[in-house]
Structure 1
């Protein structure tokens, strides 16, 4: 007897429990990770906001801050503030709370679609996803087999990831590498037909690889890690309807990294070449094991 597909598990993860007016509770699976995946918190927070808005007004932008690391296995409560319900735009603020502490803040704006002029940058000319190896297969080919932790992660992974360029495994391969990366993605299995689920699923996926572009010039993506990394903030603009269970290209680049922080921006195209989402994120890149200036490690480990 087969269990639920990775896509079905993702849909279940995004299916929040409404426990009171404007208050929702989300599961946080018990993982071997030190903190809850940021894309999960962002996706669940957007579900909470979207549940309080008329479906005729899809989200057009979100701006969020990751304030504290979430604890795996502990439920997260999402408190929604109905900031504004205008004639064309609706605004919501969401606080994600875990064990009485706010770990994440999100502001989302929803807009009733209107006609207008159009232009967009062209999609890069890249190989089709079917011609590229799956991430797990590329790692397995290099290492001979998947490490046990990655094998478990690969079985639970809700998205098929295929990097446009081959992975680099050693610092000697990084000479003249530009801070750019591109990856094809799609959910593994059907996500159903609710547009909000597809939007929140892509929000989940948008945090998976965006900071790759920052790391590329200084360390291999899948080799030895020299830096502790954490997402600091996240912003997205949704331009067109889409399905997250169909292939989309995530083109990523980093215009700057300085002061232990790196900025990344991404453009997400559907397979027809339409620009569907734009993304910006800043991440913390601190030398592995280094202490934050002016702080001592607390009982839960290093702090930002």
Structure 2
């Protein structure tokens, strides 16, 4: 993931929307039943950020389930590179609607080709045990951390503490919160914003060196454990676990300011030797 400056086309004028980029990014156009299209387009050709297409696909799936059912997990695959200057169409398949669970599959398409697939499960809230084994390690509060810019993300404020390793574009641990007004619009939107954020920091940066680098994401999964407000601070921590066979794998945890584990995620990405030009 690189720090790149870019411009994007103004979002369409929408009733009741102030034109916030993240809000417009998640506000999909309903083309027909179970078929949605992205509205926000970049002005120039730019690689489509994986967290964007994942958040939009989850949003499309969530628009087809009863309002009392919220996502508890998603599993996705990145099939082809996307172009952020072109619209993405999301086809939703209603696999099942049970008494308390709904299952949806989404295929994201550009130029007639599938670029991304997502399977998501939605659950009506119910009472049950609430236990947490994983705890956040001690880390300075947001007020004690220095601000930094998360590359490629709209409407996100971020802070971290301590020196980064040479290859860490995004810190392995950081606070973030949304500044978008859309973050106040219910738990589905909060889950979409969390998904949008979850792909930005690769835990594989910690094991990169001059000879091996992480690149394109292969798959991504998120589990939503507890309700979360993404317009409040959340602490993201990523941990690398393995690199072999040209692939690397890492996991991540998201905590709120009270230390509750609100979500977990995992990703596999390409992890290969750096190609070097042979000298003549």
How has the CA–CA distance of structure 1 residues 270 and 6 changed in structure 2, closer, same or farther, with 3 Å as cutoff? farther
Q: How does 1:119-138 map to 2 (within 5 A)?
A: 119-120=131-132, 121-136=134-149
Contact residue 167 and residue 205 of structure 2 kept, 8 A: no
Residue of structure 1 equivalent to 2:93: 81
Q: Per the alignment, in what secondary structure is the counterpart of residue 216 of structure 1? A: helix
* Of 115-124 and 5-14, the range deviating more from structure 2: 5-14
Q: Deviation at 1:30?
A: 2.0
Q: Per the alignment, in what secondary structure is the counterpart of residue 69 of structure 2? A: coil
Residue of structure 2 equivalent to 1:218: 208
Residue of structure 2 equivalent to 1:183: 174
Question: Matched residue pairs, number?
Answer: 258
Contact residue 27 and residue 74 of structure 1 kept, 8 A: no
Contact residue 228 and residue 287 of structure 1 kept, 8 A: no
Q: Per the alignment, in what secondary structure is the counterpart of residue 255 of structure 1? A: strand
1:162 partnered with 2:153: no
Contact residue 75 and residue 221 of structure 2 kept, 8 A: yes
Q: How does 1:91-240 map to 2 (within 5 A)?
A: 91-120=103-132, 121-136=134-149, 157-169=154-166, 181-190=172-181, 191-209=183-201, 211=202, 213-219=203-209, 227=213, 229-240=215-226
CA distance in 1, matches of 2:19, 2:158: 14
Residue of structure 2 equivalent to 1:243: 229
CA distance in 2, matches of 1:31, 1:163: 31
How has the CA–CA distance of structure 1 residues 244 and 31 changed in structure 2, closer, same or farther, with 3 Å as cutoff? farther
Superimposed CA distance per residue, residues 208-242 of structure 1 (whole angstroms, 9 cap, x where no aligned partner)? 11x1x2121324xxxx8963611110111111111
Runs (5+) with no aligned partner, structure 1: 137-149, 172-179, 291-304
Contact residue 24 and residue 39 of structure 2 kept, 8 A: no
Residue of structure 1 equivalent to 2:81: 69
RMSD (Å), alpha carbons: 2.7
Q: Per the alignment, in what secondary structure is the counterpart of residue 184 of structure 2? A: coil
Q: Deviation at 1:181?
A: 2.0
Q: Deviation at 1:64?
A: 0.3
TM-score by length of 2: 0.84
CA distance in 2, matches of 1:80, 1:170: 38
CA distance in 2, matches of 1:231, 1:73: 20
Contact residue 46 and residue 85 of structure 2 kept, 8 A: no
Superimposed CA distance per residue, residues 149-189 of structure 1 (whole angstroms, 9 cap, x where no aligned partner)? x9xx68x6321222343223479xxxxxxxx9211111124
Residue of structure 2 equivalent to 1:296: none
The structure richer in strand per residue is 2
Q: Deviation at 1:8?
A: 2.4
Q: How does 1:33-52 map to 2 (within 5 A)?
A: 34-52=46-64
Residue of structure 1 equivalent to 2:22: 10
Q: Per the alignment, in what secondary structure is the counterpart of residue 41 of structure 2? A: coil
How has the CA–CA distance of structure 1 residues 72 and 187 changed in structure 2, closer, same or farther, with 3 Å as cutoff? same
Runs (5+) with no aligned partner, structure 2: 1-9, 12-16
